[in-house]
Amino acid sequence: MKIKKTIALVLSLALAATAFIGCGNTTKDSASESQTQETQTSGKKVFTFGDTTFNAENEEPTIDAHDAYCGWPCIRYGIGETLFKFDDNMQLEPWIAESYENVDELTWKITIKDGVTFSNGKAVDAAAVKACIEDLVAVHERAAGDLSIDTIEAEGQTLTIKTQTPKPTLINYLCDPYGCIIDVDAGNEGGIVVGTGPYVATELVTDDHISLVKNEKYWNGTVKVDEITVLTISDGDTLALALQNGDIDAAYGMAYASYPIFENDAYTFSSTATSRAFYCQMNYKSDIIKDDAVRKALAMGIDKESFVNTLLNGYGYVGAGAFPETFTFGGQNVKTDSYDPEGAKLVLEDAGWVDTDGDGIREKNGKTLTIRWISYPSRQELPLLAESAQATLKDIGFDIQLNVTADHGQIVSDPEQWDVYAAAFVTCGIGDPMYFFTTHCLDDSSKNRGGYHNDNLQALGDKMNETFDADARGDIAIEMQQQILDDNAFIFCSFLKMSMISKSNVTGLVAHPSDYYELTADLDIN
């Protein structure tokens, strides 16, 4: 089994771990060694964090929140903070802002807290926030579409935003990582921005590391750790070895297969359910995917239970709809095909897909049932999903051609090069269901990579955009989920149980359901 092979690989390479750390990237070595020496000589608290996801592959080459998905490391590593944030139940609570008022359908009045400063000492007033948001919507296409801002006025600590259309989720969208309030006047040299969080970035090398120091002017409590290095370690086995050897203090993105190594008193797990879905997106510009029977058979041919229980060691939840059952509008409200290989075979046969030459792969009108499956490796679960799907779908008569590569973005941008795209995405990252639909499913969605369209879904999207009542929005979200499931436009395989693993002397490193807030002022080494 893949799991056993992976564990064996980890164990067999354990002796080589020191050599790896010693002979690997020079910058990482230098950072680790210098921190160790400094800790010994100065008594400073120094923390090293390994993360598989901080890289250009995930559209995170820097921490400039106004670029692609770079807001994620900005907020995760405690550099940037948003006006509001989510509590443990994904409900809004004040952060940089003190309160908000929805004056009318188009007008929102936000009061900024007194006493908040950027890490360079500059006060955060409404004018600074206005400048930040205006820069954001000028350069960030997704944010501009989400926020739909008409005008912004600033007076003292009061910010007044008028939107072009009713925007019930404006405050939620401002909690997206791109909404980190940064000092745009300070610039973004080398992708480093000035935020309000407990840590200040001092050095950044894409796909390698970022160096942080304590924000001596932090407005919201005492920062306990003096220096932090976040290392980009995209290979899960390498990440495990680094934590085993003590070269890092904690890790995010560890492969589930490596978890047993750390299930002892020397380490601490912090885990929580999230809405990060592992899903398959169909390319409607592909002739073979346009066949309704092919999409339905794909949906019936993926063994979600086995993927979660065996390959993920139970560290996940089987998916039905776009949202986990922790939300009132979650997958418990929709119907979808369960794993049914015999049923999938009948669906294909009825549609004319039969194995005419006895090689196990079906054909129709001279074309083989070949699916080009694109995914990427930095999310350790996606290669496992690809291999699992390839095995179960082969038994049904599919020829699944896997391409799990860091170049997935470039490949998927060309609709001629793929049929199914398997990815991971936080579907309810703003605490509201519209987030997933606006990013993936509607005609103007930036991640509607396969050109999916449904008239009813479009109409429901328009209806949700005009609906302020949260319960009514939930009902619409259920209808929208059912529509995309009926079309088999997406297959939701599982949701992630997010975990961070740290040495037992590390405290304050707590997994959050949003998957956003990782390094906070509470982080400490004892």
384-408 pLDDT, tens digit each: 999 999 999 999 999 999 999 989 9
Locate 81 and state its tokens: 């903070």
CA distance 111 to 346: 60
pLDDT at 497: 86
pLDDT at 311: 85
Check whether 25 has a pLDDT greater than 80: no
- Residue pair 147/170 in contact (Cβ under 8 Å)? The answer is yes
Both 478 and 403 in one domain: the answer is yes
Both 283 and 255 in one domain: the answer is no
Q: At how many degrees (to 10) do helices 236-244 and 14-23 cross? A: 100
- In whole angstroms, how far apart are CA 158 and each of 26, 114, 131? 48, 11, 13
CA distance 437 to 381: 23
pLDDT at 8: 37
CA distance 6 to 103: 56
10 Å CB burial of residue 297 (0-12, 13-18, 19+) is buried
Both 136 and 55 in one domain: the answer is yes
> Does residue 291 form part of some domain?
yes
Q: Residue written as tokens 């560890």? A: 254
Nearest of 417, 413, 386, 416 to residue 402 by alpha carbon: 386
> Does residue 17 form part of some domain?
no
> Does residue 13 form part of some domain?
no
CA distance 341 to 347: 10
Q: Quickly state the pLDDT bin for 40 (edges 50, 70, 90).
A: low
pLDDT at 369: 98
Both 185 and 225 in one domain: the answer is yes
497 versus 169: which is more confidently predicted? 169
pLDDT at 478: 98
Both 333 and 264 in one domain: the answer is no
Check whether 1 has a pLDDT greater than 50: no
> Does residue 163 form part of some domain?
yes
The CB density around residue 476, as the number of other CB atoms within 10 Å, is 19
Split into its structural domains, the chain has a count of 2
- Residue pair 24/209 in contact (Cβ under 8 Å)? The answer is no
The upper half-sphere exposure of residue 413, i.e. CA atoms within 13 Å in the direction of its Cβ, equals 4
Residue type, 480: M
Both 284 and 264 in one domain: the answer is no
496 versus 199: which is more confidently predicted? 199
Residue type, 73: P
E strand or H helix that includes residue 42 = helix 26-42
Task: Specify the CATH number for the domain of residue 298.
Answer: 3.10.105.10
User: Of the ranges 21-25, 172-176, 497-501, 509-513, which one carries the lowest mean pLDDT score?
Assistant: 21-25
Which residue segment(s) compose the domain that 239 sits in? 44-268+515-525
Q: At how many degrees (to 10) do helices 341-350 and 381-396 cross? A: 60
10 Å CB burial of residue 390 (0-12, 13-18, 19+) is middle
Both 180 and 280 in one domain: the answer is no
> Does residue 293 form part of some domain?
yes
> Does residue 39 form part of some domain?
no
Both 222 and 310 in one domain: the answer is no
394 versus 316: which is more confidently predicted? 394
> Does residue 134 form part of some domain?
yes
Both 225 and 281 in one domain: the answer is no
pLDDT at 401: 98
Q: Quickly state the pLDDT bin for 312 (edges 50, 70, 90).
A: confident
Both 257 and 174 in one domain: the answer is yes
Which positions ≥6 away from 460 have C-beta within 8 Å? 476, 479, 480, 483
Both 258 and 286 in one domain: the answer is no
Nearest of 5, 14, 12 to residue 257 by alpha carbon: 5
Mean pLDDT of 273-297: 96
Task: Specify the CATH number for the domain of residue 187.
Answer: 3.40.190.10
> Does residue 200 form part of some domain?
yes
Calculate the average pLDDT of the chain. Answer: 91
Both 378 and 458 in one domain: the answer is yes
10 Å CB burial of residue 43 (0-12, 13-18, 19+) is exposed
pTM for the model stands at: 0.83
CA distance 473 to 353: 40
- Residue pair 491/279 in contact (Cβ under 8 Å)? The answer is yes
Sign of the dihedral through C-alpha 207, 57, 227, 505: negative
pLDDT tens digit sequence for 437-452: 999 999 999 899 999 9
The CB density around residue 474, as the number of other CB atoms within 10 Å, is 19
